[in-house]
Copies of this chain bind each other. A is one copy, B any other.
Amino acid sequence: MSSVLSFKIAARDAAARRGLLSTPHGVVETPAFLPVGTQGAVKGLLHRDLHEVGASIILANTYHLYLRPGDDLIARLGGLHRFIGWEGPIVTDSGGYQAFSLSAKRTVREEGITFHSHLDGSLHDLTPEKAVEIQTRLGSDLAAVLDECLAYPASGADARVSMARTLRWAARARRAFLSRPADAINPGQAQFGVVQGGVFPDLRRESAEATVAIGFEGYAIGGLSVGEPPDVMYEMIDVTAERLPEGRPRHLMGAGTPRDLVEAVSRGMDLFDCVLPTRNARNGQLFTSEGRLNIKNARYAEDPQPADPACTCYTCGHFSRAYLRHLFMAGEIAAASLNTLHNLHFYLDTMRRIREAISLGSLETLRQAVRQAYSPRSLDS
């Protein structure tokens, strides 16, 4: 069984690439931002709202779906696309990150990860092979290999041990992927290798080269955006991206801020997923063209302006900061929905502008503008 994934680069601006990623469930313009639908839904929105803001591809979490409702149930109902009613491309992570971050007790051995469910404490094993099996049953379009996610900061010695294990897991995951059953739910599924190595350039280079040597349809960078300074993250992207093959898509996992997106694109990354726009929306923080805006602030109590006067989303076209603040203070569900709609519109619109800038050769200008809006002097930060 081979993947139907294809990736064509349409334009370049220095290290940045604009491309078209073809998946079994449709074509995605890159660079692209993937809203996170942890449990098969993007929190605060309906699928049609995602279409409206221009999201063509989403990410779902293997850990959550494995625990509830279960990958077997999803497979019996025809796979994740049919189960959740999303016809576009879906990326799944391996479940490893959540097994590390959500489980109170987990053990890492050569075989894999043993963890207790954050829902009911039940004990589970997650091996490289099992992560492939679960994602095969989910039938996502892009599946990630199981990697070990080290807490930040970690010593160079710990990071080396962990990086080496992630490589052995990647080889096992690739073998398991290549021997999937012929009647898999999504026969065109692609597999991404995940580069680790902490904040150590030599480890990142070694991980990138060895992961590429195994050979995957695409490559992800894991273990960043976990607390390290932005400049360290950007350096790790630099040293990794230059060792990844030109013709394969590159996914920066779990990042980031609007500035992270444009900085990573400038360094050659293509795909991004992050809970920041959705989670912050539910906490009342809006991303705007002038920086972050905290709708809780008393100064917005009688402000008749839209959240972002430059924005064309439904929220900004119909509602004032005063109303958004009222909804937030009153705990109304509409606060989560309207804020999320705006934030994702902002993120997806930023990606549109990034793609245009690459075609126009003006990404550096956009990078400076985003950096300015998201400096410490911006609106409410």
Residues of A within 8 A of B (CB): 39-48, 64, 68-69, 73, 76-78, 83-85, 301-302, 304, 314, 318-320, 322-323, 326-327, 329-330, 332-334, 336-338
Contacts and interface: CB of A to CB of B under 8 A. Distances in A.
Given A39-B326, A332-B43, A333-B333, A318 B85 contact: yes
Oligomeric state, in number of copies?
A: 2
A45 to B, nearest CB: 7
Nearest to A87: B318
A283 to B, nearest CB: 14
A83 to B, nearest CB: 6
B48 A83 contact: no
Contact of A323 (B45, B83, B330): B83
B332 A39 contact: yes
Contacts of A326: 39-40, 68-69, 83
A318 B73 CA distance: 19
Given A314-B48, A320-B83, A322-B83, A327 B41 contact: yes
Contacts of A338: 46
A37 B217 CA distance: 50
B68 A334 contact: no
A78 B320 CA distance: 12
B332 A41 contact: yes
A329 B67 CA distance: 12
A48 B45 CA distance: 13
Given A43-B332, A84-B323, 19 more contacts: A39-B332, A40-B326, A40-B327, A40-B330, A40-B332, A42-B334, A43-B334, A46-B338, A73-B301, A73-B302, A77-B302, A77-B304, A77-B320, A77-B322, A83-B320, A83-B323, A85-B318, A85-B320, A85-B323
14 contacts: A39-B332, A40-B323, A41-B327, A41-B333, A41-B334, A43-B333, A45-B334, A48-B314, A68-B326, A76-B302, A77-B320, A77-B322, A78-B304, A83-B323
A116 B338 CA distance: 31
Contacts of A327: 39-41
B83 A333 contact: no
Nearest to A65: B326
Nearest to A336: B333
B83 A314 contact: no
A337 B302 contact: no
A337 B333 contact: yes
Nearest to A322: B77
Contacts of A47: 318
A329 B68 contact: yes
A41 to B, nearest CB: 4
A320 B77 CA distance: 10
Contacts of A40: 323, 326-327, 330, 332
Nearest to A303: B77
A95 B334 CA distance: 23
A259 B202 CA distance: 72
B46 A337 contact: yes
Contacts of A45: 334
A322 B334 CA distance: 25
A68 B327 CA distance: 10
A345 B41 CA distance: 21
